[in-house]
Chains A and B, each alone.
Chain A
Amino acid sequence: MTDVAWIGAALAAARPQAVAALLRYFRNLDVAEEAFQEACLRALKSWPVNGPPRDSAAWCIFVGRNSALDEMRRRNKHDTLPDDDVIPDAEDTESAMVERLDSSAYQDDVLRLLFICCQPDLPATQQIAVALRIVSGLSVQEIASAFLVGEAAMAQRITRAKRAMTQAAVAFETPGPAERAERLNTVAAMIYLLFNEGYSASGGDAHVRVPLCEEAIRLGRLLLRLFPSESEIMGLTALMLLQHARAAARLDENNNIVLLDDQDRSRWNREMINEGLVLVEKAQRQGLPGTYQLQAALAAVHARAARAQDTDWSQIDQIYAVLEVLQPSPVITLNRAVAVSKVRGAAAALDLLAPLAEPLAGYFHYFGVKGALLKDLGRADEAREAFNKAISLARTAAEAAHIRMNLDKLNS
């Protein structure tokens, strides 16, 4: 039996570039997807016999384009001629085709394909689902199981999302630097949402969602290959690698979440951590801090600590200080307060918390942190009050149990 696993991987790797180039060529997503599908069918027949082509993406684009044009011509015999804008460059020479395949055109093609999945009117989960279908080529069944919904419901969601994408106006011209930067931002946010969709899964379903994290990392690396000096894409990829590296240590034998401090660090994936650390360092050389880089830098500090007690909290404090300036938010200040408590003590941290009382009045973690700081300062009554408030705001049993443990310590 011929092993077709390598063909599957070659086609999966070729897919983003091939569909993106065919989309630019035909300016119609359905036609581009069908053309790629046809190229895949032909590859499955031809590659086992003739061996892999030197450039599988170019092969798929060429074969896909020709088969779609043949199909249109065949229809034309019975039908009227297609509009010019359906086949904008039907008379293209092959050399023009080859020219379009150079990497600078690929860059914007793939970015455009990812960008049109990010239709702002679509809910985030639909953007992700449709990107997984069109860019990654996951089957509807695979996507449905990753999102823990039925196949029919997912198929419907994707169809609806695709319709919205088809109707949206897409600029096919080469984007200017500002437009390109904006597209990169939007696409990076979508990839991180995809990652979080997999990462934030809790309990027994977490293992089902690992493919979402891996796919997000694959897209991050793809984007970084196309835009090798974008420090925020380095940061994004590093952040995902550093977080995903902890996957095996995040759940205990009963599938409960294990907090960072309590994780068995020998189970962290060193290869992923090392790659993440290198990317953080590489990004920082550019001297253009951004939120992904800073979050990755935070994850890097934890990754470097062999034990939880070795964590360099003053560095974490400094990173949060920069993040506070770049992206002011009470939650970031709250996180910084935790770092400050480890470096300068509970009293200094409590001072940072004072202005957060109003904006975080309904936030579980605010009261959890406040309670812990008050407890450290020996202000037991106030601590108890904060902990009780935290319990009333807890969203999961595990959160409430964690606070109750603190309350018990206070009472003993």
Chain B
Amino acid sequence: MFYCILCYNRESELQAWSREKEATVMARREAVAHSLATQGRLGPVGKLMPTTTAVTVRASREPLVLDGPFAETKEQLLGFYLVDCRSLEDALEVAHRLVGETGALEVRPLAQFYPGIGLQ
């Protein structure tokens, strides 16, 4: 089954990371992604731009266009991985390898999946 691993953390904290800290975290995540890729289990991976770039379109009689992310949350959605996993246990194991010292990873199985055209 395909699992989406959604990465949440406090954006303001990440923006205060030193370059070394950021490099360490990214290197560790890349290593995990690389091992998943060599096993043929890694789907699309995305790092989102800061929430300050977000615009939200909310349904209404006339759809409302609002600046900012859809909700004010303590931790923000910052990125995602799509991974092919045999079981929930397996998906949680991947999440354990990805998780850092702060923040949270939400493991959500996909109900439907359209591969799209493989954007480059």
Contacts and interface: CB of A to CB of B under 8 A. Distances in A.
B57 to A, nearest CB: 12
A222 interface: yes
A5 B55 CA distance: 32
A44 to B, nearest CB: 14
B23 to A, nearest CB: 12
B56 to A, nearest CB: 10
Nearest to B56: A228
A interface SS class = helix
Contacts of A229: 66-68
A56 B49 contact: no
Contacts of B52: 221, 224-225, 228, 234, 237, 279
A295 to B, nearest CB: 18
Nearest to B49: A275
B77 to A, nearest CB: 14
Contacts of A8: 16
Nearest to B20: A5
Determine which residue in B13, B17, B20, B74 has the highest number of CB atoms from chain A within 10 A of its CB, and name it: B13
A9 B53 contact: no
Contacts of A228: 52, 67-68
Interface string A1-30: 001011011101100000000000000000
A43 to B, nearest CB: 13
Given A13-B12, A218-B16, A282-B55, A52 B102 contact: yes
A274 interface: yes
A8 B16 CA distance: 8
Contact of A10 (B53, B65, B74, B102): B102
Contacts of A274: 49
A229 B52 CA distance: 9
A55 interface: yes
B101 interface: yes
Contacts of B102: 6, 10, 52
B106 to A, nearest CB: 16
A358 B51 CA distance: 47
Interface in B1-40: 10-18, 20-21
Contacts of A3: 101
A152 interface: no
Interface residues of A, number: 28
Nearest to B11: A225
B62 interface: no
Contacts of A278: 49, 53
A6 B49 contact: no
Interface in A229-270: 229, 234, 237
Given A103-B72, A229-B68, A10 B13 contact: yes
A77 interface: no
B50 interface: yes
Contacts of B16: 8-10, 12-13, 218
A225 B72 CA distance: 10
B68 A222 contact: no
A275 B50 contact: yes
Contacts of B55: 282, 285
A12 B13 CA distance: 7
Nearest to A222: B12
B85 to A, nearest CB: 27
A225 B51 contact: yes
Nearest to B53: A278
Nearest to A10: B13
A2 to B, nearest CB: 10
A225 B49 CA distance: 13
Contact of B74 (A6, A12, A54): A54
Nearest to A136: B16
B105 to A, nearest CB: 15
A147 to B, nearest CB: 21
A9 B21 contact: yes
A54 B52 CA distance: 22
B100 to A, nearest CB: 8
Given A3-B101, A6-B101, A275-B50, 14 more contacts: A5-B18, A6-B102, A9-B16, A9-B18, A9-B21, A13-B10, A13-B13, A13-B15, A56-B10, A225-B51, A237-B52, A278-B53, A279-B53, A285-B55
Going nearest first, the 8 A-B pairs with the smallest beta carbon separation are A228-B68, A12-B16, A13-B12, A13-B13, A229-B67, A6-B101, A224-B52, A9-B16
